[in-house]
Amino acid sequence: MLLSSACPAWSRSCHARKLDPIFNETCRIVTGCIKTTPVHCLYALSGIAPPDIRRAVITKAEHTKQANDNRHSLHEHSATQKRLSSRNSFLDTTEILETTPTDARITEWQNQWNSFGSQTTQWMERGITPDECLATGQDQPWAVWKTLNRLRVGEGRCKASMRKWKITTSDACVCGKSQTKEHIVRCSQAPQCTGDDLAELNPAPLACANHWKDMI
């Protein structure tokens, strides 16, 4: 409700992005990811399109209603002449939707991901995709699903990171090697899994997540 209420009026304001940190934190709570997780992964794991895309599509949907629905209060209304260069009516700055709002969100989201280049390849190989559904494993216990998400994004409370954050003095894993983010999924003393395993969610990542759920 907060995002959609009068969105065409305020979504292009320079202050609109001040709301985004609230949505980011909510997605961290939903997915169990930590603050070092890339924001784009948070929304993909949560199955929610990023706020800027949602605001844009809501505004376009309103323009579509204005143009096609004679019950709309602004039907056949022409934007008034601008008095300030910084003030732009959404009727002048947005296009009419040619598809459903859902399809428009997914298309714009996928285009945004493609703009990130090779960075998204690794995410998608681990099952993180721009789609409006929760990441696989949501039917697992919370601790397991949280750990699966941290394994997918490669961000968690590994000992190497905690040493960097000055939480602990040693980064040694139980196997004797440095417990880095990359080491978690290939530790010889724990179930191992690959990016393909995480994407398919076969028994290997479930076993790995169950092992690390109270540690990372």
Domain ranges, ordered by start, for the chain: 7-125, 142-212
The CA-atom distances, in angstroms, between 22 and each of 16, 28, 39, 50, 53 are: 12, 10, 12, 12, 16
Instruction: Give the pTM.
Output: 0.84
Q: Residue 76 corresponds to which tokens in the numbers above?
A: 């056949």
Question: What are the pLDDT digits (tens) for 166-180?
Answer: 999 999 999 999 999
How far is Cα 202 from Cα 210, in angstroms, rounded to an integer?
A: 13
DSSP letter (8 states) at residue 68: H
Average pLDDT over residues 34-47: 94
User: How confident is residue 73, by pLDDT bands cut at 50, 70 and 90?
Assistant: low
Could you tell me which residues are beta bridge partners of residue 17? none
What residues form DSSP beta bridges with 178? 172
DSSP string, 99-141: S-HHHHHHHHHHHHHHTTTTHHHHHHHTT--S-SSPPTTTTS-
pLDDT value at 102 more than 80: yes
Q: Are 160 and 180 in contact (CB under 8 A)?
A: yes
Buried b (16+ CB within 10 A) or exposed e, 55-90: bbbbbbbbbbbbeeeeeeebeeeeeeeeeeeeeebb
Instruction: State what percent of residues in the chain have pLDDT above 90.
Output: 56
Is residue 2 predicted with pLDDT exceeding 50? no
CB 22 within 8 A of CB 37: no
Tell me phi and psi for residue 91, to 5 degrees: -70, -25
Q: Three-state SS for 98?
A: coil
CB 135 within 8 A of CB 48: no
**Each residue of 117-156: pLDDT tens digit?**
777 888 888 999 999 999 999 999 999 999 999 999 999 9
pLDDT digits (tens, 9 = 90+) for 76-91: 667 666 665 556 666 6
Residues 6+ apart with CB under 8 A from 90: 8, 9, 11, 12, 59, 62, 63
